[in-house]
Structure 1
Amino acid sequence: MNSVRARLTLLYVVLFTVCGTVVVTITYGLVAGLPSSPAEVGVRPAGNQDDFQARCQDPQYTADPAFRLSCDRLYQEGLAAGAQNQRQLTLDNLLQYSTLTLLATIVLSAAAGWLVAGRALRPVEAAHAAQRRFVANAAHELRTPLTVMRTAVDVVLAKPVPTNAELTGMGNEVATAVHQAEGLIDGLLTLARTERPPTHEEVDLATIAEDVIDATGQAVHAHLEAAPTLGDPVTLERLVANLVENAIRHNVPGGEVWVKTGHLEGRAVLMVDNTGPMIDPKAVPGLFEPFRRLAERTGVAGHGLGLAIVAQIVTAHNGTVLALARQGGGLTVTVSLPG
């Protein structure tokens, strides 16, 4: 990325240099094209002209018409020469100062270009790093069930005469690993589908939450008030389902789950919290990244895609999502969507 940043900076400097050179050239040309005749520019005699004027005004000299004419001609020539010298000095100073100013601003433009290019590329660098991390994590997650299947098969095939129990056990292990791989692939496909712009249909988060809670078959404390919003019913149902399933899955034995919906300040609000294990508040923002799990959650089922899918669906619907660690343990997730 530094090479890209350097190329962008060089491009900024070249463009600024070209534009600055054009401005200096045009300015110099306009000033050089101004009238140069003393009569045209209205130049008056400058400097010490006392001796010259004294002779030209002395009757001893002016009595001679030829001298008077010569005096007038020399006066005009001197005046023109002085004006031309002043003009050339002005043009030289203009060119010198303009060139020095241009060089100084080129240096400043290089520094500013480097900073601007870095700021412009910062999201790209972050997105590139996140993409590489996502691919690496996805490959790791997919490798796990494949390794389990290969190990189960190799162990049984290495025996001269596997028993039926061993073959059955191998089949069960492979089936479990296949189920795990299918769940991961389904999660990845869902994550990819939620990147598309959603449809805008009238839906009620309360109705969706009620259907999701009924489908889980678990005891959930529900306080569901109307929460109308516009969006894609399928992805919004996935959002609610992920939050409720996560709250149930990542809970302590005998723990509780609360689901609330409502309408607040013109927005549809969904809140899901549980009495799970203690969570470090600093680790909460990272839960919305793909494949991110807490240390306490490594032993439970799941691929670490649930909250990542939630965050992506919320973003696609121009909403906000906030997660907070509860003091007594567990997590509170609040989703706010345009009403």
Structure 2
Amino acid sequence: MKDWFPGKKLNTIHAKLLATYLLLITLGTSLMAGYILWSFHLYLMRTREADLDNWTIALSESAGDALAEMNLQQVELLVKRYGAPQNVTLRIFNQQGRLLATSDPQLDKKITDWYKVPGVWEALQNRPQQGVAKGILSTEDRLYVARPIVRNGQLLGIVRMSITLKQVQNQFTRVIWNVLGTLSLTILLCALISTRFARSLSKPIETMQNFAIRLGSGDFGDKLEIRENNELDQLATELNRMSERLASLDQERRVFLANVSHELRTPISNVQVTLDALRNGAYEEPQLRDRFFQTIENEIKRLSRLVHDLLDLGRLEAGVSQLEQQPISLRNLINRAVGTMEPRMQSVGISARVNVVDLLLQGDPERLLQAILNVLDNAIKHSVPNSQVFISGYNEGKLAVVKIQDQGTGITENDLPRIFEQFYTTNPSRQGNSNGLGLAIAKRILEAHHGSITANSTPNQGATFTICLPLTRIIESTDADLL
């Protein structure tokens, strides 16, 4: 119960849980206690009413015998025997409503009109009456019964008995205090249990809250451990996965920034060095000047390609790049890509062998062409002279599958899992010709079309890239071309 001490600031979650438990417990136990008290009071009243009713029935029989014999002494004896001035008042009237005998003569001397006394008029009309009313000339509540005395169908008089409810009220008061004491003890015990239970629920939530705050602050090194065997375990597992993913993304971001800095620094440094050389006199020599200008132009083109690829990749990853949706012939798409690369392939002595089923796709033709060109460009760069690049296309279920296979040296097992990463190149010596973004962009384009790309390789036997895209339908049979 240390959380209840003055000055101790309750945790918000713990305080809300505890307040909710106590409110529900107090409400539930109060309703139950109220129902018990109401039921007990009703039981006491009905019991007293039944007792009073039985007494008046018995007294009406005895009083009827005495009235039938006109024995008023016997009537007075009955009243004195069963009446008690303090708590039981017994009165017997004749058929005209005149008082014949009373257990409280001092009080009854003050009554001038008995017809105003509750139950007397109704009983004289041969109608038994029962209820609770104020005492005669007092404010005390009393339970009364007024019953006609009848013999052989003739009204001989009435008997009226009333009892004070003080005894019932005193008894009921003792019950109330007992119930309230039990209720307070129950609430106290439930509060102790609720405090522990609320703490057991709020503690893991507080832990996850602090963990989330640390994640928001960029601290991805922690791991959340909660063993509750409930939904909180699942939530903790998902938070740990999110933390790992954020740590991975943060690392990728750092590597990306480092790679971008490196890729930008090299051409800028080359341009700066070249400009310094020109400024220091190289401009006077035509051949050297032309070569330096060509270097500047090449580096500017390299920077332009890098910036374009970075912007392209950023738009694809952010999902803001708008993709057209139109029917595309897979064969025409492959033929366009091969036709674009044909001059370059011829310059290095590489040919392409195409065997593609004409399938109908849905998507952005220019973006898909860019993806295939990037993959084909990678195959050409890693092919050996006088070799072939094999391109095949076919349907597999509801997918269009395109395979691009080169006859190069292949991709090592260490490099294979990372070839679709940004700025990653399998041969560092080729970084001057490649910025390592081509395959990453191709992968993002294909994923934006709900497709995929994978790679496999055998050492010294080339690499095979497999592209899968959703298929619309088959247009015609296969066809083979040699380019």
TM-score, length basis structure 2: 0.57
SS of equivalent to 2:355: strand
Which protein, 1 or 2, shows the higher relative CO under an 8 Å CA cutoff with sep ≥ 6?
1
Q: 2 CA distance for matches of 1:171 and 1:202?
A: 45
Paired-residue identity, %: 20
1:38-90 CA distance string (max 9 Å, x none): 543559xxxxxxxxxxxxxxxxxxx9x889x9997776555443332222111
Report if aligned partners of 2:22, 2:194 keep a CA contact under 8 Å in 1. no
| 2:307 paired residue among 182, 185, 191 | 185
2:202 matches 1:106: yes
Report if aligned partners of 2:457, 2:463 keep a CA contact under 8 Å in 1. yes
2:361 matches 1:267: no
Report if aligned partners of 1:227, 1:269 keep a CA contact under 8 Å in 2. no
Larger proportion of helix: 1
Q: Which amino acid aligns with 2:326?
A: E
Q: 2 CA distance for matches of 1:297 and 1:111?
A: 50
| 1:226 paired residue among 348, 358, 363 | 358
| 1:313 paired residue among 432, 436, 445 | 445
| 2:337 paired residue among 202, 212, 215 | 212
Report if aligned partners of 2:416, 2:456 keep a CA contact under 8 Å in 1. yes
Residues 188 and 110 (structure 1), Cα distance of their counterparts in 2 relative to 1, 3 Å cut = same
Residue in structure 2 matched with residue 246 of structure 1 by the alignment:
378
Residue in structure 2 matched with residue 176 of structure 1 by the alignment:
298
SS of equivalent to 2:328: strand
Residue in structure 1 matched with residue 184 of structure 2 by the alignment:
88
Report if aligned partners of 2:408, 2:463 keep a CA contact under 8 Å in 1. yes
SS of equivalent to 1:26: helix
Q: 2 CA distance for matches of 1:165 and 1:329?
A: 43
1:291-330 CA distance string (max 9 Å, x none): 1111366367211111011011011111121112234443
| 2:326 paired residue among 201, 212, 236 | 201
Q: Which amino acid aligns with 2:276?
A: D
The alpha-carbon deviation at position 285 of structure 1 amounts to 2.6
Q: 2 CA distance for matches of 1:154 and 1:80?
A: 102
CA RMSD, Structure 1 to Structure 2 (Å): 3.4
Residue in structure 1 matched with residue 127 of structure 2 by the alignment:
none
Residues 262 and 18 (structure 1), Cα distance of their counterparts in 2 relative to 1, 3 Å cut = farther
Q: How does 1:1-339 map to 2 (within 5 A)?
A: 16-17=13-14, 19-36=16-33, 38-40=36-38, 76=172, 78-113=174-209, 114=211, 115=224, 116=236, 117-159=239-281, 162-194=284-316, 195=319, 196-217=321-342, 218=345, 219-295=351-427, 298=430, 301-339=433-471
Residues 317 and 41 (structure 1), Cα distance of their counterparts in 2 relative to 1, 3 Å cut = farther
1:15-45 CA distance string (max 9 Å, x none): 74365245224313412531536543559xx
Residues 148 and 279 (structure 1), Cα distance of their counterparts in 2 relative to 1, 3 Å cut = same
Residues 175 and 35 (structure 1), Cα distance of their counterparts in 2 relative to 1, 3 Å cut = closer
Q: Which amino acid aligns with 1:100?
A: R
Residues 254 and 159 (structure 1), Cα distance of their counterparts in 2 relative to 1, 3 Å cut = same
Report if aligned partners of 2:18, 2:194 keep a CA contact under 8 Å in 1. no
The alpha-carbon deviation at position 205 of structure 1 amounts to 2.2
Q: 2 CA distance for matches of 1:160 and 1:337?
A: 54
Q: 2 CA distance for matches of 1:129 and 1:286?
A: 15
Q: Which amino acid aligns with 2:369?
A: E
Q: 1 CA distance for matches of 2:179 and 2:18?
A: 28
1:234-269 CA distance string (max 9 Å, x none): 101101111111101122333331111122111121
Q: 1 CA distance for matches of 2:39 and 2:454?
A: 73
Report if aligned partners of 1:35, 1:41 keep a CA contact under 8 Å in 2. no
117-126 vs 237-246, which moves further: 117-126
Q: 2 CA distance for matches of 1:160 and 1:265?
A: 64
Q: 2 CA distance for matches of 1:323 and 1:28?
A: 64
SS of equivalent to 2:419: helix
Residues 19 and 81 (structure 1), Cα distance of their counterparts in 2 relative to 1, 3 Å cut = closer
Q: 1 CA distance for matches of 2:383 and 2:25?
A: 77
Residues 322 and 42 (structure 1), Cα distance of their counterparts in 2 relative to 1, 3 Å cut = farther
Q: 1 CA distance for matches of 2:37 and 2:283?
A: 119
TM-score, length basis structure 1: 0.78
Report if aligned partners of 2:371, 2:442 keep a CA contact under 8 Å in 1. yes
The alpha-carbon deviation at position 138 of structure 1 amounts to 2.0
SS of equivalent to 2:424: coil
SS of equivalent to 1:258: strand
Report if aligned partners of 1:249, 1:300 keep a CA contact under 8 Å in 2. no
Report if aligned partners of 1:251, 1:276 keep a CA contact under 8 Å in 2. yes
Q: Which amino acid aligns with 1:265?
A: G
Residue in structure 1 matched with residue 69 of structure 2 by the alignment:
none
The alpha-carbon deviation at position 14 of structure 1 amounts to 6.5
Q: Which amino acid aligns with 1:17?
A: H
The alpha-carbon deviation at position 229 of structure 1 amounts to 1.6
Larger proportion of strand: 2
